[in-house]
């Protein structure tokens, strides 16, 4: 895969995958995929931010991937979500899971499942810009020791999008 090639388009073409319709997947399948997509984004940010020992990277990633952190993130994001995104989140939050919350209360676990369902939905829609904008907005007020959106993106001159730019209206 050369530079400038879209990951999802290349994956779909090389593996002969059909164009997915995110609306046809159960919320738990969306959460399953969203968990992986979110984790990859978080790990990428952390590695690019700090070339440090793996155990330190893992602690930081785990802190951002645990149910309570994702629950806090989705609470910050709710005012920014479109009506469709809110419906996807609620479907994920209300889904009946066969697994129980480990090291998390039930409410945080359910909200985190909704958050992951939203990430999976955006991934299947191939709307990585929206996914990254929402993750960035959710991480904006994180403490410095766990904040993967810090000096590196600012030094690189990355375009910073305001909450108004992140907020979308349904078309």
Provide the annotated active-site residues: 35
Chain Cα centroid distance, residue 83: 18
Residue with tokens 């078309």: 171
What distance in Å separates the CA atoms of residue 134 and residue 89, rounded to the nearest whole number? 13
What distance in Å separates the CA atoms of residue 133 and residue 81, rounded to the nearest whole number? 11
Residue with tokens 């440090």: 52
Coil, strand or helix at 166: helix
What distance in Å separates the CA atoms of residue 105 and residue 110, rounded to the nearest whole number? 9
With a CB cutoff of 8 Å and minimum separation 6, the contacts of 79 are 167
Per-residue tokens: 104: 């998390």
Report whether 4 contacts 10 (CB < 8 A): no
Nearest Cα residue to 95 out of 25, 170, 21: 25
């Amino acid at each position: 895969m050369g530079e400038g090639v879209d990951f999802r388009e290349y994956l779909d073409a090389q593996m002969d995958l059909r164009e997915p319709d995110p609306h046809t997947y159960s919320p738990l399948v969306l959460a399953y995929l969203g968990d992986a997509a979110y984790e990859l984004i978080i790990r990428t940010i952390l590695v690019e931010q700090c070339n440090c020992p793996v155990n330190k990277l893992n602690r930081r990633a785990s802190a951002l991937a645990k149910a309570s952190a994702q629950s806090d993130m989705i609470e910050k994001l709710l005012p920014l979500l479109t009506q469709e995104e809110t419906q996807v989140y609620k479907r994920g939050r209300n889904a009946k899971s066969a697994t129980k919350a480990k090291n998390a209360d039930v409410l945080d676990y359910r909200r985190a499942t909704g958050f992951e369902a939203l990430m999976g939905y955006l991934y299947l829609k191939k709307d990585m810009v929206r996914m990254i904008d929402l993750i960035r907005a959710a991480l904006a007020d994180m403490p410095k020791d766990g904040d993967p959106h810090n000096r590196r993106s600012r030094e690189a001159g990355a375009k910073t999008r305001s909450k108004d730019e992140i907020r979308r209206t349904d078309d």
